[in-house]
Amino acid sequence: VDNASAAFHKVKEGELDALVATQLNSRYMIDHYYPNELYHFLIPGVQNASLSFAFPRGEPELKDIINKALNAIPPSEVLRLTEKWIKMPNVTIDTWDLYSEQFYIVTTLSVLLVGSSLLWGFYLLRSVRRRKVIQGDLENQISFRKALSDSLPNPTYVVNWQGNVISHNSAFEHYFTADYYKNAMLPLENSESPFKDVFSNTHEVTAETKENRTIYTQVFEIDNGIEKRCINHWHTLCNLPASDHAVYICGWQDITETRDLIHALEVERNKAINATVAKSQFLATMSHEIRTPISSIMGFLELLSGSGLSKEQRVEAISLAYATGQSLLGLIGEILDVDKIESG
């Protein structure tokens, strides 16, 4: 073996049955490293080992000094020293004194690490809670705005600066047929988009402040997949603080029925005006037609009131007055018939 320590270890592991060593070395190794595992005993008839000092051959003076010092030690002191080595004291090492400083350093660093970890964890927990609150508020706002947008009866939609429809309410989707809805979602600059006339006007809108936001309107016809509908379209600019580009909020109101009703009212108005003009002309004509027979009757009555007429002339005047009265009566009957026809 290389040294005595390795020999003691091999005996403990069972690789060696025994070893021979000095009594001092054996007692020290067994008492400190292999208690209750290895045992030692004296070999009878073997002389005691002696301790010697070795010196270089070129230093005889040092050898003489050491010999004089050893000879000066009393025999009783030599015996006392020998007994001390034979019975090795149980030396205990105070590890606290050796590692107390390191322990305090490690403990302080550990406390600082744990404290900083707790503070960081508390900060992260607070940030997560705050983020959840903000996220909840944003989700509530999005849900509210979605419900508010879908509750509007008129279609509304949002277009980005490139002309793409990025959002719309349910009325927008329901306004078109299922097949034509795909065309409505095309970019506004596409020729198949029903809003192709809107795209050129949106770029004319300049950036304006919130207090002075202008709403631009225009009336045109769009196809909803079934028929052409007349709408009153509006759009306005919305600046987004967190984006470099603004969006356009658009919508429309279907005025097809209103336009048709206005057209029908215009037709009826023209009819009423024409009827009023015709009635005025009719009254003027009837006034002339009535005035002529009455004048004739009054003239015949004046003739009859005179005494210069013969009997034949009187009979002729009465006949003419009667005929004129019959003509006037027929004219009045025709007027009444016309009035009945107009009143239904």
**20: which strand partners?**
none
Rounded to whole angstroms, how far apart are CA atoms 290 and 325?
10
DSSP helix/strand/coil, 253: strand
pLDDT tens, residue by residue, 194-229: 888 776 665 555 544 445 667 888 888 888 889 899
pLDDT computed for residue 203 by the predictor: 55
Q: Chain-wide mean pLDDT for the chain? A: 81
Higher per-residue pLDDT: 68 or 329: 68
DSSP assignments along 122-182, one per residue: HHHHHHHHHHHHHHHHHHHHHHHHHHHHHH-SS-EEEE-TTS-EEEE-HHHHHHS-TTTHH
Question: Over pLDDT 70: what percentage of the chain?
Answer: 86
Rounded to whole angstroms, how far apart are CA atoms 82 and 49?
12
Question: Cα 43 to the chain's mean position, in Å?
Answer: 93
CA-closest candidate to residue 233, choices 245, 221, 247? 221
Q: What angle do CA 216, 222, 225 make, to 5 degrees?
A: 145
pLDDT tens, residue by residue, 54-105: 888 888 888 888 888 888 888 888 777 766 655 555 555 556 766 788 888 9
The model's pTM is 0.48
DSSP 48: P
Model confidence band, residue 254 (pLDDT cutoffs 50, 70, 90)? very high
Backbone phi and psi for residue 220, each to the nearest 5 degrees, phi listed first: -155, 175
DSSP assignments along 168-222, one per residue: E-HHHHHHS-TTTHHHHTS-TTSTTSTTHHHHHHHTTPPP--GGG---EEEEEEE
| 261: its two tokens | 């009703």
C-alpha distance across the termini of the chain, in Å: 141
pLDDT computed for residue 53 by the predictor: 76
CA-closest candidate to residue 88, choices 3, 29, 4, 7? 29
Model confidence band, residue 308 (pLDDT cutoffs 50, 70, 90)? low
Rounded to whole angstroms, how far apart are CA atoms 107 and 98?
15
| 190: its two tokens | 């596409």
Under 8 Å CB-to-CB from 324, ≥6 apart: which residues? 293, 296, 297, 300
